[in-house]
């Protein structure tokens, strides 16, 4: 009972005691007790009614506001709208938040999405991994508008260079853009090739927009080489760390150029296969993988400075994407979770990513770093797992499509939109 109600009750009781009912009169006392009981009962009903009205009002307001809030909050934080410019915002510091069904396309309806990445078509029933969107702490990534993006890319050439992770992002972008094309037959692979894991070049043309999106398979970026004379028997091949891939001349004449490497820089792909490093004529038997990786990136950086027209080409380099293998004996296992991880378990750190960042900061051509390491570290729910075209082989490295690679493309598209607008205003 409030202070005001207590005051009213006390004052009323004193007033009743001062009435002329007479304390000694039994009849007066019975009447006074009856009147007081009815008065208190009435006020209790008023108080209860007021409380019910208060909670109804609060509940109604909550239900009114609820649709405007994210129903699921990752890491206990709400999504807040921000007016900060995307250019002045670190889009890689943030969290994954759950949203209504979010995919931009159906991979089964996109002829350029590999069956091996189409987890739903391969039997995955749990589709909650599709309902997460990356939310930077200090800004918002603009919602993807396929019509505007297709117009922005009219007459452009987009090139992806790297390993199978690069091919996944290439497929993702094509499928995202195909959703805005009415005549699907106007989108085709320029050499009539089917998507392959080993083919060195794939190019998809959007003829209605004079747009080409290409992929070049170059898992190391530098050039493979034969065995040097007088090399030890264990040397079966080399990586020429001072020479960029022999198809690199085909990368340069582009409007957008997106690189990645790192996943093949492991002993099983190198030393175990008899592949060692070479610089000039010198075979570097004792060179470590991190040192070789840095040397190769230096060769790439020199090529960028010599070959790229910085007034035309926008260059991106994607950092290392962590996997989510469980380090259990006798071999690694892949357990795909239903939801993103709450903790990264150290997967947000990568020596390869650190080397990439260190090399790129010294390149004289502007490089947009697509720093996805920390973003991907949480997404143990989004890997292919057992839902590939070969379910007997587990996969905790590649991503389902649609899925996480769509986020990489959303970030790139938002940055390109700002860059192209600036270029148009300057011209």
pLDDT tens per residue, range 392-404: 899 999 999 999 9
Q: How many CB atoms lie within 10 A of CB 64?
A: 9
- Whether 81 maps to a domain, the answer reads no
Per-residue exposure over 178-210, b if at least 16 CB sit within 10 Å of its own CB, e if not? bbbbeeeeebeeeeeeebeeeeeebbbbbeebe
CATH code assigned at 175: 3.40.50.1110
For residue 254, pLDDT beyond 90: yes
User: pLDDT-derived band of residue 71, with 50, 70 and 90 as boundaries?
Assistant: very low
Q: What does the block give as tokens for 122?
A: 């391969």
Task: Give the domain extent around 286.
Answer: 94-426
Same domain, 113 and 11: no
Same domain, 135 and 192: yes
Under 8 Å between Cβ of 204 and 149: no
Looking up tokens 């050439």 gives 157
Q: Name beta bridge partners: 134.
A: 96
- Whether 79 maps to a domain, the answer reads no
For residue 363, pLDDT beyond 60: yes
Last-in-domain residue among 68, 84, 112: 68
Same domain, 37 and 122: no
Q: What does the block give as tokens for 20?
A: 């002329």
Same domain, 35 and 154: no
- Whether 78 maps to a domain, the answer reads no
Same domain, 293 and 338: yes
Q: What does the block give as tokens for 188?
A: 């085709």
Same domain, 41 and 169: no
pLDDT of residue 206: 98
Same domain, 216 and 316: yes
> What share of the chain in percent tops pLDDT 90?
70
For residue 421, pLDDT beyond 90: no
For residue 58, pLDDT beyond 60: no
Residue of 424 and 155 predicted with greater confidence: 155
Same domain, 57 and 152: no
For residue 282, pLDDT beyond 90: yes
Helical residues (DSSP H) of 26-110, grouped into ranges: 26-65
- Whether 76 maps to a domain, the answer reads no
Last-in-domain residue among 68, 86, 118: 68
Last-in-domain residue among 34, 51, 68: 68
Mind listing the pLDDT tens digit for each residue in 286-322? 999 999 999 999 999 999 999 999 999 999 999 999 9
For residue 424, pLDDT beyond 70: no
Residue of 47 and 231 predicted with greater confidence: 231
- Whether 83 maps to a domain, the answer reads no
Domain count within the chain: 2
Same domain, 60 and 101: no
Same domain, 280 and 160: yes
- Whether 191 maps to a domain, the answer reads yes
- Whether 80 maps to a domain, the answer reads no
Same domain, 352 and 222: yes
Strand ranges, E, within 137-290: 157-162, 187-189, 201-206, 211-217, 222-225, 237-244, 256-259, 275-279, 282-284
- Whether 337 maps to a domain, the answer reads yes
Biggest distance spanned by C-alpha atoms of the chain: 128
Same domain, 62 and 203: no
Tell me the helix, strand and coil percentages in the chain, rounded to 5.
40, 20, 45
């Amino acid at each position: 009972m409030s202070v005001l109600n207590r005051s009213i009750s006390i004052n009323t009781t004193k007033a009743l005691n001062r009435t002329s009912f007479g304390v000694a009169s039994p009849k007066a006392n019975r009447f006074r007790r009856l009147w007081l009981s009815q008065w208190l009962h009435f006020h209790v009903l008023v108080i209860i009614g007021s409380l019910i009205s208060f909670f109804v009002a609060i509940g109604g307001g909550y239900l009114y506001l609820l649709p405007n809030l994210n129903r699921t909050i990752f890491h206990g934080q709400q999504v807040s709208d921000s007016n900060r410019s995307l250019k002045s915002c670190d889009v890689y510091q943030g969290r994954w938040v759950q949203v209504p069904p979010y995919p931009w396309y159906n991979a089964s309806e996109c002829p350029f999405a590999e069956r091996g990445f189409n987890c739903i078509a391969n039997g995955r029933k749990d589709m909650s991994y599709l309902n997460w969107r990356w939310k930077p702490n200090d800004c918002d990534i603009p919602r993807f508008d396929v019509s505007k993006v297709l117009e922005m890319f009219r007459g452009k050439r987009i090139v992806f260079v790297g390993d199978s992770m690069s091919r996944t992002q290439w497929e993702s972008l094509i499928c995202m853009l195909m959703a805005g094309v009415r005549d699907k037959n106007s989108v085709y692979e320029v050499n009539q090739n089917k998507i392959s894991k080993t083919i060195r070049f794939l190019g998809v043309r959007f003829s209605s927009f004079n747009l080409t999106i290409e992929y070049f398979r170059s898992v190391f970026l530098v050039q493979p080489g034969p065995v040097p004379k007088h090399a030890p028997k264990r040397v079966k091949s080399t990586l020429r760390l001072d020479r960029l891939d022999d198809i690199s001349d085909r990368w340069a004449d582009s409007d957008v150029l997106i690189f990645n490497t790192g996943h093949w820089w492991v002993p099983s792909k190198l030393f175990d296969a008899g592949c060692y490093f070479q610089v000039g004529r010198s075979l570097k038997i004792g060179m470590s993988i991190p040192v070789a990786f840095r040397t190769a990136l230096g060769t790439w950086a020199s090529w960028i400075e010599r070959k790229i027209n910085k007034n035309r080409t926008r260059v991106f380099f994607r950092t290392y994407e962590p996997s989510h293998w469980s380090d259990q004996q006798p071999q690694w296992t892949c357990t795909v979770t239903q939801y993103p991880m709450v903790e990264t378990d150290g997967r947000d750190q990568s020596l390869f990513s650190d080397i990439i960042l260190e090399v790129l900061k010294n390149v004289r051509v502007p490089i947009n770093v697509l720093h996805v390491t920390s973003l991907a570290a949480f997404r143990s729910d989004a890997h292919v797992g057992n839902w590939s075209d070969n379910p007997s082989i587990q996969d905790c490295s590649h991503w389902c499509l649609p899925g996480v690679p769509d986020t990489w493309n959303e970030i790139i598209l938002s940055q390109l939109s700002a860059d192209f607008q600036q270029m148009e205003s300057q011209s």
